[in-house]
Amino acid sequence: MAVRSELLRLRMSIDNMDAALVHLLAERFKITQQVGVLKAKHGMPPADPAREAQQIARLRSLAVEAKLDPEFAEKFLGFVVAEVVRHHQALAGPADGPTAAEPDRTR
Query: 106 in a domain, yes or no?
Result: no
Confidence class for position 95, pLDDT limits 50, 70, 90: low
Query: 54 in a domain, yes or no?
Result: yes
Query: 101 in a domain, yes or no?
Result: no
Exposed/middle/buried for residue 40 (C-beta within 10 Å: 0-12, 13-18, 19+) = buried
pLDDT in tens, 29-60: 999 999 999 999 999 999 999 999 999 999 99
CATH label of the domain that carries residue 24: 1.20.59.10
Confidence class for position 1, pLDDT limits 50, 70, 90: confident
Query: 14 in a domain, yes or no?
Result: yes
Residue 94: per-residue pLDDT: 74
pLDDT in tens, 56-83: 999 999 999 999 999 999 999 999 999 9
Query: How many angstroms separate the CA atoms of 33 and 35, rounded?
Result: 5
Helix (H, G, I), strand (E, B) or coil at 107: coil
Domain that holds residue 44: 2-92
pLDDT in tens, 18-31: 999 999 999 999 99
Work out the number of other CB atoms within 10 angstroms of the CB of residue 88.
23
Q: pTM for this one? A: 0.75
Say how many domains are in the chain.
Answer: 1
